Chains A and B, each alone.
Chain A
């Protein structure tokens, strides 16, 4: 608290020693202290948030892109996730694993957006897939063939049930362990394993069916 010397008070000292006067004056000083404290705390929170953005924006973008498969939508989802963090920044210090917490936020944002959009992702287009996905050392024909294969796989993934599809998509991220996937989805680790097992079996069946149709 700011110290105030009694000699600057214009009234006699007996007035200054009154408890009411002291209370009013100390309250007045505390307002200034609180404003300074709030400003410092706000600055610290902004710094922490900026650190989170520089550290995890790429990871969140890739998680969003794996579901939405549209770069601008994925970027918007990342933006929205960080805005949600901004709104609840006072709880930032209580978060144990910030990376998993942020992935969970962006995952929920992405699922909301996908439910609302109901449109086909742009990477279902073979030409767009060939442009986006890396194809080092491939000829033009091989690149087109690879893009067609990827498009078939993604179409099969879209046919999976939602629970199995989500686990399969998150398991593609090498930096996520099964415990972290369980934390993101809000399920147990054994559920993650069983869902992934079912997803792989279903995927194999769907791909065989696709091959037999050709």
Chain B
């Protein structure tokens, strides 16, 4: 079979390419296949040896004769189960459950050498002033009643503006509440 390329006519195959063809037609040396086969067998052994993690002894191999017997396998499985269960029971019987702690040991405070001590002073956090709740005008309707008799325009004109307190609250402070008339 000739190469398609030479039949396609891309460029003209030069006589110089005959050299490459001569080299390409050289026959393989004698015994090449046997040497490659031997090398592959060695490489196969090496590959298998490197990938096998656990090499079982010959007596325990699965393809060994006595392990082909089902009875022997059952006995071996029973021995394994007995060893595992017995070992677990021995361990669980000897290990005592941990007792809960009755006292909590606080580690002593270690002062850093070369620094000032606090001389036993306890730091107390600064507390905030509590909110002051002002009684609203509606809490004493009797005190607010006289102001309603005055005309609204005058009251608004003569009442000075006080910051932070309403006019009703100011009156509440200046005129103490009268007892309700019955």
Contacts and interface: CB of A to CB of B under 8 A. Distances in A.
Interface stretch (B13-21, B88-96, B159-167): B13-21
B44 A46 contact: yes
Interface in B35-57: 35-37, 39-40, 43-44, 47
B40 A49 contact: yes
B11 A8 contact: no
Interface string B61-98: 01100001011011001000000000000000000000
- How large, as a class, is the contact surface on chain B? 35 or more
Interface stretch (B22-30, B105-113, B125-133, B138-146): B22-30
B60 to A, nearest CB: 12
- How large, as a class, is the contact surface on chain A? 35 or more
A203 B13 CA distance: 10
B22 A174 contact: no
Interface in A48-74: 49-50, 53-54, 57-58, 61-62, 65-66, 69, 71
A83 B39 contact: yes
Interface stretch (B2-10, B115-123, B168-176): B2-10
- Which has the most chain A C-beta neighbours within 10 Å: B21, B28, B29, B68? B28
Interface of B: 1-6, 8, 10-14, 16-17, 19-29, 32-33, 35-37, 39-40, 43-44, 47, 62-63, 68, 70-71, 73-74, 77
Interface of A: 4, 8-10, 24-25, 28, 31-32, 35-36, 39, 46, 49-50, 53-54, 57-58, 61-62, 65-66, 69, 71, 75, 78-79, 82-83, 86-87, 123, 132-134, 149-150, 153-154, 156-157, 168-169, 171-179, 181, 192-194, 196-197, 199-201, 203-204, 207
